[in-house]
Amino acid sequence: MSGPRVLGFDGVTVRYQPGSVPVLTGVTFALGQAERAALVGLNGSGKTTLLLAAVGLVGHDGLIEVDGLQVGRRTAAEVRRRTGFLFNAPEDQILFPQVIEDVAFGPMRQGEPRDAAYRGAAEMLDRMGVSGLARHPVQHLSHGQKQRVALAGALVNQPPLLLLDEPTSSLDPPGRRALARVLDGFGAAMLVATHDLEFAGRFCRRFLVLDAGRIAYDGPDRLAAERLLGS
């Protein structure tokens, strides 16, 4: 890890119900500035839970830090402001009927004037390869298009940390390559939950493997990660 940590997990355990079997157990790792890691694991291994815990959307025992803030009820709103989050279902985070309005909302909420926010949003849609969709109604977009719009919204405030939950799940191969290029050019620390190690290997040199809620591997060896996934 290089420099101060942007995301830190120390002995993090998550249970959805008190007294139930933990979904994450003793998870410990850290990401430095601009460091990128793929978070891989079979269905149900705890990837989404880990990302949600990082921004305080599910409770945890142990310590989680984002950009120097200890994640908890009091800090959750500020943690979310400093984090770009792509949910597994993009519908969950697109709030406005028109694409450009939705992407411009983040900067406007941060206090940017409307014109600057719309310019920034248009630029980010262009980087995502969907500038032609700016004036489209969100409800007419395909799932893959919604995913790119949601990602533009997550990136537009230039957050120091990006948490992406299966960002390629509905992208075609050219869409995946374009996304890998965009992410590669972005200076944030990133944790990317994915099943697609070929995609992740394009811009991540670190693989975190979750196995039934525990970190089973943390290192640069993609083949070791693949073996643990049984692929």
Ligand X SMILES: Nc1ncnc2c1ncn2[C@@H]1O[C@H](COP(=O)(O)OP(=O)(O)O)[C@@H](O)[C@H]1O
Binding site for ligand X (CB under 6 A): 16, 23, 41, 43-49
C-alpha distances in Å from residue 228, one per residue of 77, 190, 213: 36, 22, 14
185: tokens are: 């050019």
CB of 41 to Mg ion, least distance (A): 9
- Nearest-10 Cα torsion for 30, 33, 39, 45: 40
The partner in contact with residue 142, picked from Mg ion, ligand X, none with C-beta cut-offs of 5 to 8 angstroms by kind, is none
Q: Residues of 74-85 as b/e, b for ≥16 C-beta within 10 angstroms?
A: ebeeebbebbbb
Strands 189-193, 207-211: pairing kind: unpaired
Binding of Mg ion by 83 (CB under 5 A): no
The partner in contact with residue 23, picked from ligand X, Mg ion, none with C-beta cut-offs of 5 to 8 angstroms by kind, is ligand X
Element (H or E) spanning 88, and its range?
Answer: none
CB of 183 to ligand X, least distance (A): 19
The partner in contact with residue 41, picked from Mg ion, ligand X, none with C-beta cut-offs of 5 to 8 angstroms by kind, is ligand X
Binding of Mg ion by 48 (CB under 5 A): yes
Rank residues 120 and 213 by Cβ distance to ligand X and give the closer one: 213
User: With CB under 5 A as the contact rule, which of the stretches 11-19, 43-51, 144-152, 182-190 interacts with Mg ion?
Assistant: 43-51
Rank residues 15 and 176 by Cβ distance to ligand X and give the closer one: 15
Rank residues 52 and 117 by Cβ distance to ligand X and give the closer one: 52
Q: Burial level of 172, CB count in 10 A (0-12/13-18/19+)?
A: exposed
Which residues lie across from 193 on neighbouring strands?
A: 39, 165
Residues at the interface with Mg ion (CB under 5 A): 47-48
